[in-house]
Structure 1
């Protein structure tokens, strides 16, 4: 009898369609960082607007350079002890072939690394919302560099890198519930526990100065998030990316409704800030789960996240930590919910055959999700607090109280977001118009 002939599997070939799709997704994820800047910038008082915009934009500069130098190697290089990766050929990205494919996929390594770069950029930018009004810009820039190096790059390896402990354990995180949102939310909590509260916290009104900017930012985030989520399947043609796209829309819509319903019952009004925050909560919660659950499950995840995150944002007043723009309440809580609910709603028909409790799979996946969630949470919380403490004791993390009260935009950037010197549509100043313009400027700057 002739021996059986085993045919070798055909090697993957570069796909122009998948490459183009992933480049578009990368651009969408990049857009999320300016979207976040507008979202946060509208939520602060007018005297902090530019500082919030800059705290996001500076991440585009710092993290990009670090990613080229060593970040990509640390996150996705050869595993070392299940904790960090390294590949000396990737340092500086000079030894990567233009058509070299990424690990069995049909896209070039350069496409994968730039897609992941955009994740690395937005994650520290998320932290900035918790620190509004009071952090030196130079200290923040150094914090980003240190945090990306010792927290984000290793955690990305844990969750997505071959050999990382969470990856090998089987923790499901489709697009960043643990690596991005829990990571950033825990870091935000660690830093604010070190640097303390804003001047006037729980005493002075600290309302958003521009809700239109908030809505614009939320819309850009929602739009860009389709690249963030659907792109994370790297262009595979098995339908999972399409499922993730649908679930992203469904869960976000459901979270908006859940947040607004809670807000109406609790506070008596449907607010634009609530709608924007609910959308972000839904986007956060579906990020880890959307490839493993059904659209009906996405509705459940969205509603749960919308209601519970709306409840969680008030915890800062009960426990006395000053999370300026609700990073802990939305990103940490939303990330935890989305990650843990996989253990209940996973259908076994999406990104893997793992089923959750409601689909006959028991609690095995739930416990794995718990390990990933609380492992990342604890590491990021502690290390971020240590970094903030060291920076505070050396260069100082906070601006002076006088600068905080007068306005961090002027103190740190020598600029203001709005120029009221030409109030009245550019009409010439007269004895009547000049006092009115001056009064308007003082009122907005207060």
Structure 2
């Protein structure tokens, strides 16, 4: 339940992170596009989302057996009322809520790709449909033991495919289809970045929330959860430090003076460290998490040169 609360906190954190990176005129729009996912997805998840992802069915799609979360009682435990991932002893409704938080943050990640280019109602419809036809099937394929990717031995501890790959590709496609924001607002390129304190605040909220995101994916209070939390922190820290070192040495990003560190870049590198460790957070040793974070921080710096 603690991990669930931490993951829910990631969506407001993401809203702040994104909001600080957009123009002042789009600040509230960006925050609202992220926050509104916290209203849309739980409704979809309750109606049929969870049932599609984790209910009885085939290797591709679930069913309506758990629609409206029926058949879930206070004494049901995960493994009795859904496909068991391990010998789990957590209440089924806790697992439902935890996975709902995953669905929320995944949909919210796309909001940064459509800010200033999509009206509210079409966006809300898009989020509902995207979660139904993109997220739910992917969650079943990878997270459910009935899923075909899971049966093939796919290793994804906390959502490298289901969360980051899905939202990243979808965000890219949405941005390409909608086109540049300059088409909607010719003056957008003349407006500098604002509200960077919100980006730093959002980074901190994401960092803390990610402990529950990765640690909770062990679905137990055990050594794997502890390993995932340690690795999450190490990867984020090493990625952030790598960016700072490279920025001080080269000072080329965003054209800043030599020795000046880019705040947006540092925050982005920290999030990259969190992202790259997610698929293997519960599988690798801390030393490898350190290396993964360093590679992540170096990679984003090179990409943004």
Q: TM-score under structure 1 normalisation? A: 0.63
Q: CA deviation at 1:137?
A: 1.4
Q: How does 1:338-349 map to 2 (within 5 A)?
A: none
Aligned counterparts of 1:70 and 1:94: Cα–Cα separation in 2 = 10
**In terms of Rg, which structure is larger?**
1
In structure 2, the partner of 1:100 is 76
In structure 1, the partner of 2:193 is 208
Aligned counterparts of 2:270 and 2:130: Cα–Cα separation in 1 = 27
Q: Which runs of 5+ in 1 are unaligned?
A: 1-22, 315-446
| Corresponding position: 1:298 with 2:265 | no
Aligned counterparts of 2:238 and 2:190: Cα–Cα separation in 1 = 30
Q: TM-score under structure 2 normalisation? A: 0.91
The structure 2 residue matched to 1:118, chosen from 87, 92, 101, is 101
In structure 2, the partner of 1:247 is 231
In structure 2, the partner of 1:151 is 134
Aligned counterparts of 1:309 and 1:250: Cα–Cα separation in 2 = 17
Q: Which runs of 5+ in 2 are unaligned?
A: 80-86, 253-257
The structure 2 residue matched to 1:58, chosen from 27, 36, 40, is 36
When the two chains are superposed, the root-mean-square deviation of aligned CA atoms in Å is 1.6
- The alignment covers a number of residue pairs equal to 289
SS at match of 2:57: strand
Once the two structures are superposed, what CA deviation does each residue of 1:79-100 show, in whole Å capped at 9, x if it has no partner?
A: 31x2112251x11012112111
Aligned counterparts of 2:280 and 2:91: Cα–Cα separation in 1 = 26
* Contact residue 98 and residue 108 of structure 1 kept, 8 A: yes
In structure 2, the partner of 1:178 is 161
Aligned counterparts of 1:203 and 1:151: Cα–Cα separation in 2 = 31
Aligned counterparts of 2:186 and 2:272: Cα–Cα separation in 1 = 24
Q: How does 1:33-432 map to 2 (within 5 A)?
A: 33-80=11-58, 82-88=59-65, 90-103=66-79, 104-199=87-182, 204-237=189-222, 239-264=223-248, 265-267=250-252, 268=258, 269-313=260-304
In structure 1, the partner of 2:84 is none
Once the two structures are superposed, what CA deviation does each residue of 1:195-249 show, in whole Å capped at 9, x if it has no partner?
A: 1001178982453211111000100010111011101101143x11101110001
Q: CA deviation at 1:135?
A: 1.4
Aligned counterparts of 1:175 and 1:313: Cα–Cα separation in 2 = 27
User: Structure 1 residue runs of 4+, over 6 Å off?
Assistant: 200-203
Once the two structures are superposed, what CA deviation does each residue of 1:136-178 show, in whole Å capped at 9, x if it has no partner?
A: 1111111101100000000011110122121111111111111
Aligned counterparts of 1:39 and 1:77: Cα–Cα separation in 2 = 34
Aligned counterparts of 1:41 and 1:234: Cα–Cα separation in 2 = 32
